[in-house]
Structure 1
Amino acid sequence: MAELLTIKNLRAGVEDKEILKGIDLSLGRGEVHVLLGPNGSGKSTLMNVLLGHPKYQVTEGAIEFEGEDLLEKAAYERARAGLFLSFQSPEEIPGITLENMIRTAKQAVTGEKVKLLPFRKALKAAMEELQMSPEYAQRYLNVGFSGGEKKRAEILQLLMLSPKLALLDETDSGLDVDAVQVVSAGVARFQQENPDSSVLIITHNTRILEKLKVDKVHVLMEGKVIEEGGPELIASVNDHGFTHLLDAEG
């Protein structure tokens, strides 16, 4: 299967602090990869570097997306190329409704005018799938939303924008069991409707993975990928934690 994303010897950090210390990772089309690791290991940094967050500086290495140099592209160009990031802590944006934000983003990504009636029909169906009240479409983005509502709004954007690569940064954090099931079903629907698209997901709650077919697991510690494997690696981490992997590596 052709590689969608290839990361080679990636080193990056903030100001004078190096956080990523030589990341090598590849992800094929249509695959679901899971990124595990303790807090502070560099998982969210990797996601932000992939999207081109200006806070982070890349000092070495390469990132290729569909065979093109991703590091040469601005953040908006990366979004247009097909990358999507679901934030761990979504921001509130007064003044723009959820519907208008998604519609504007879709037009920006596709370069085509979005017809209102078909768009609203698709939006309503996706919101029903995520058990979101239709009224949320007309509310300002994330303003007054609960934590769970913000995460559902993130998955709603994912379903409506249909990116080539979905980067999900702890989309399940702070959710109760029922909400995790809804979000998991939403990600599974994205995967089913976009079989050539890929998912890279950070999680501490493996319940979100129950409806997904996981192809590969990467364990990140101290800025490096120290272990890779199949879904069985998730069970190993759940049973024994991360430190035993460091002990085995040593």
Structure 2
Amino acid sequence: MSTLEIKDLYAAVETKEGRKQILKGVNLVVNSGETHAIMGPNGSGKSTLAYTLAGHPKYEVESGEVLLDGQDLLKMTPDERAKAGLFLAMQYPVEVPGVSMTNFLRTAKTEIDGKAPAIRTWTKELTDAMKQLKMDPKFATRSVNEGFSGGEKKRAEVLQLELLKPKFAILDETDSGLDVDALRIVSEGVNRAKAASDFGILMVTHYTRILKYIKPDIVHVFADGHFVKTGGPELADELEETGYDAFMPDGSSESALA
């Protein structure tokens, strides 16, 4: 079993108005096999938490610890964090012109495992995963995300998840921009990957629709830079009915930062 532990994490970002503290004492423990849903209003810091964990240089950690099986992630570069077992499915996946999906995925797999996968085994695994995600085989030779629709980019993220087999996956609004069919296919891909390697999931979302497919064990409300309430799956249904106003620090609507 692996454990991801966040201890009293504070982080800030530079804005046009100056330095702004976004994360304000985040504490969380996620174990292998657990699915944690992180819900909250826009601007509460959910995506900031995701990118801070992954090592995005825009976000500066002021204090706190993030440990993955006892290793201090905050002392690692983003690629070292990935090798340690952390995966981030981005809300807005970027395009990488000139780098084919096949080369990108095989290079990433080689770096994470420390050795190149056998060609025959790898080709079959890639082909099978793309087929289950209903991705056109031609996408394997196209540049990473270049010209992909929003739904195709999200499927490509889940394809990476299935093939790279991390210890912990952060899904940052993976449901954003998906229609009903794409949401089902992407969710099935996440569930399939989790069943195969039993990793832990931190799933950032605003809505309960994805939770109907990817069942959470624990639901957290994230507001004003930290967790303000934790409960079981029923908490998501409560939030669907009541909204987030009760958790806003001043009763106002969201800020402009995610």
TM-score normalized by the length of structure 1: 0.95
1:40 aligned residue (43, 47, 67) = 43
CA distance in structure 2 between the aligned counterparts of 1:87 and 1:223, rounded to whole angstroms: 19
Who is 2:252 aligned against?
Answer: none
How many residue pairs align between the two structures? 245
Residue 81 in structure 1 maps to residue 80 in structure 2: no
Q: Structure 1 stretches (4+) deviating beyond 6 angstroms?
A: none
1:226 aligned residue (228, 232, 243) = 228
* 8 A contact 1:216–1:231 mirrored in 2: yes
* 8 A contact 1:226–1:246 mirrored in 2: no
* 8 A contact 2:175–2:210 mirrored in 1: yes
Alignment of 1:10-89 (within 5 A): 10-15=9-14, 16-89=19-92
Q: Secondary structure at the match of 2:24?
A: strand
Q: Deviations over 1:128-152 (max 9, x none)?
A: 1111111100111111111100000
Q: Deviations over 1:14-33 (max 9, x none)?
A: 13210001111111121000
Q: Post-superposition shift, 1:61? A: 1.1
Q: Secondary structure at the match of 1:114?
A: coil
Q: Secondary structure at the match of 1:49?
A: helix
Residue 213 in structure 1 maps to residue 215 in structure 2: yes
2:241 aligned residue (216, 235, 239) = 239
CA distance in structure 2 between the aligned counterparts of 1:54 and 1:173, rounded to whole angstroms: 24
Q: Secondary structure at the match of 1:89?
A: coil
Who is 1:180 aligned against?
Answer: 183
Q: Deviations over 1:197-243 (max 9, x none)?
A: 11111112322222333111111111121101110110010010011
Greater Cα shift, 62-71 or 152-161: 62-71
CA distance in structure 2 between the aligned counterparts of 1:185 and 1:194, rounded to whole angstroms: 14
Q: Post-superposition shift, 1:245? A: 4.0
* 8 A contact 1:173–1:205 mirrored in 2: no
Gaps of 5+ in 1: none
RMSD: 1.3
Q: Post-superposition shift, 1:68? A: 1.7
* 8 A contact 1:82–1:165 mirrored in 2: yes
* 8 A contact 2:223–2:247 mirrored in 1: no
Greater Cα shift, 202-211 or 39-48: 202-211
Who is 1:119 aligned against?
Answer: 122
Greater Cα shift, 47-56 or 206-215: 206-215
Greater Cα shift, 198-207 or 117-126: 198-207
CA distance in structure 1 between the aligned counterparts of 2:117 and 2:196, rounded to whole angstroms: 19
* 8 A contact 2:106–2:117 mirrored in 1: yes
Q: Deviations over 1:134-174 (max 9, x none)?
A: 11001111111111000000000000101000111011101
Q: Secondary structure at the match of 2:222?
A: strand
Q: Post-superposition shift, 1:73? A: 1.2
* 8 A contact 1:49–1:56 mirrored in 2: yes
